[in-house]
Structure 1
Amino acid sequence: MDRTATDRLADLDAEPTLYQTSLRPHRSLDQRGFLIVMIIVGAISLVCGMAFLLMGAWPVFGMFGLDVLLIYVAFRVSFRSARAREDIRVTPSLISVRKVDPAGRADEARMNPLWTRLDKELHEDFGLQRLTLHSRREAVVVGGFLHTAQREELAEGLSAALADAKRGVARSAP
């Protein structure tokens, strides 16, 4: 009996989830904070620029405006990069890592947890620097934008899920 791809996907959805997380880059400044910062920067720039303008150094006034524009663009680029995310799901028969870049393009890696190992790159002074899932010839770096403590938490969760998958999960009969 030949099973369709839909049947196989339905079987994967019926499997227990050993670990699942959605990772997003942290940004401490929200839109309201951004508006406040830009108003303060703009006001300071205007006051200082006016002082130079009154002294006759009118080109400096334009440079202050350029500074405000560059700060605005830098924040916008930062907010745009915060749209990236990584979705990780571990079941007894599949590890799925879906990376979505800031533009919305998705890339998905699928690995068998029985053949996958988690490599941790540790730095003596700075802690856990990189997490990589290796399965045969495929290597996927996960949590690259996380802080060290968050990366260590992710490593603990993934290690436990991989150990559970390799040990085997007891399933109840339907």
Structure 2
Amino acid sequence: MTRTITIENMPPTVTGRTAASSGPDPVTGDEDFRFHALLFPNRSLTADGFRRVLAVVIGVNLVNAVIYFTLGAWPVAFFCGVDILIVWWAFHLSYVQGRRHERVMLTDDALWISRVLPSGHETRWKLNPFWARVEFDRPASHETQLRLVEKGRVLILGSFLSPQERGELADALGAALSKAKTA
């Protein structure tokens, strides 16, 4: 079976760093949700685990730096310090990317999708739940996309989730949209 990668072509309703304050409020505080999901990327290492890994990296590089420095190869000690900085920087970038999230909110009259990038830039889409449908290819693989389609326009959801998580989200959101259409 051939899978095609779909390109997102749905224009946002509201966009910008302060979309939450400048755009229409997607839901009021007392509104009941038919479906509500907050999606975050998976983080495989806690803050305590990061400190432990960095401590091991620092320890190993410090021992190597001392050995090479005593042997007269002092430039190697400099590169051991650079190794520590590179490992810290890579983890820092990973944690920054972990701030990305998406929020899916289904009410009686609208399906709101909010995507917040690590920079704080927010993009929102408002879809009509009677026109929106969920598309997800089975069996799920790494390349499988969860697509929301409304009148030929496509919005990709949860690209940072695992294939199993995207499948579970597709099932739950599809069921919620079906209930909203029949109610």
Same fold (TM over 0.5): yes
- Tell me the amino acid that sits aligned with residue 86 of structure 2: L
Q: RMSD of the TM alignment (CA)?
A: 2.4
1:131–1:141: 8 Å Cα contact kept in structure 2?
yes
Equivalent residue for 2:58, pick from 7, 18, 42: 42
Unmatched tracts of structure 2, length 5 or more? 1-24
Corresponding position: 1:96 with 2:112: yes
What SS does the corresponding residue of 2:123 show, helix, strand or coil?
Answer: strand
Task: Please name the residue that 1:30 is paired with.
Answer: 46
Map 1:1-174 onto structure 2 (within 5 A). Answer: 16-122=32-138, 126=141, 129-168=144-183
What SS does the corresponding residue of 2:125 show, helix, strand or coil?
Answer: strand
Normalised by the length of structure 1, the TM-score is 0.82
- Tell me the amino acid that sits aligned with residue 95 of structure 1: L
Distance 1:23 1:139, change over 3 A: same
* Alpha-carbon distance in structure 1 between the residues aligned to 2:77 and 2:41: 36
Fraction of identical pairs, as percent: 30
What SS does the corresponding residue of 2:130 show, helix, strand or coil?
Answer: helix
Query: Structure 1, residues 110-138: CA drift from partner, whole Å, max 9, x if none?
Result: 000111111214467x3672101111253
* Alpha-carbon distance in structure 2 between the residues aligned to 1:64 and 1:10: 51
1:94–1:111: 8 Å Cα contact kept in structure 2?
yes
Distance 1:130 1:114, change over 3 A: same
* Alpha-carbon distance in structure 1 between the residues aligned to 2:103 and 2:50: 28
2:135–2:148: 8 Å Cα contact kept in structure 1?
yes
Give the strand-richer structure, 1 or 2: 1
Shift of 1:165: 1.5
- Tell me the amino acid that sits aligned with residue 68 of structure 1: I
**Which structure is larger by alpha-carbon Rg, 1 or 2?**
1
2:114–2:123: 8 Å Cα contact kept in structure 1?
yes
Query: Structure 1, residues 20-69: CA drift from partner, whole Å, max 9, x if none?
Result: 11011121212221111111100100101211112221111111111110
- Tell me the amino acid that sits aligned with residue 178 of structure 2: A
Moved more, 77-86 or 29-38: 29-38
What SS does the corresponding residue of 1:20 show, helix, strand or coil?
Answer: strand
1:117–1:133: 8 Å Cα contact kept in structure 2?
yes
Which structure has the higher relative contact order (CA within 8 Å, separation 6+)? 2
2:135–2:170: 8 Å Cα contact kept in structure 1?
no
- Tell me the amino acid that sits aligned with residue 165 of structure 1: A
Shift of 1:92: 2.9
Shift of 1:149: 1.5
Task: Please name the residue that 1:6 is paired with.
Answer: none
Shift of 1:94: 0.8
